[in-house]
Amino acid sequence: MVANLVSDIARSSVLAIVGWIENRLVAVQRDQHSQLVKANKKLRKYTLTNEKLAQTQERNRLARELHDTLAHTLSSVSVQLEAIKAHFDRDPKKAKKLLADTIKNTKDGLTETRRTIVDLRSSELESFGLIQAIRNTGKSAAERGGFKIDFHLDKD
């Protein structure tokens, strides 16, 4: 009988200790889950901030590029047209030469503006993949720079 009582007390003590340990483990797990939720919220906030920063930087880059192409082209055309107007009656040959130069500058500016607008639409990397994006970028640079480029790229 005493042995049964001691056995019951020992069993009860072991169950109480196991219950307490289980309770502590559940509490620790809840705490860790709460910390994980907080960390995920911070990570989402950081990611959104980082995306907004990247978008702002890209918009600024494109705005500078549009300014450098479109605004400079229009300013140049305006000045050249004023020069043509000044030479129109006095020196028609000079005016004709200036007009040809102005037309060329206008077409070059239009080409650069179109290229910039295409850059606004989508990322070539996303649309075409790495190899085609490299080819397109190289071809575009070759056209602008007036040089020839050959590609030897494979999928690996």
CB 109 within 8 A of CB 69: yes
Tell me the per-residue pLDDT of 64-95, one tens digit each, with 9 for 90 and over: 877 887 888 888 899 999 999 999 889 999 99
Tell me the per-residue pLDDT of 131-144, one tens digit each, with 9 for 90 and over: 888 888 888 888 88
pLDDT beyond 80 at 117? no
Say what the pTM is.
0.45
Q: Kindly report the number of other CB atoms within 10 A of residue 140's CB atom.
A: 15
d(CA 107, CA 95): 18
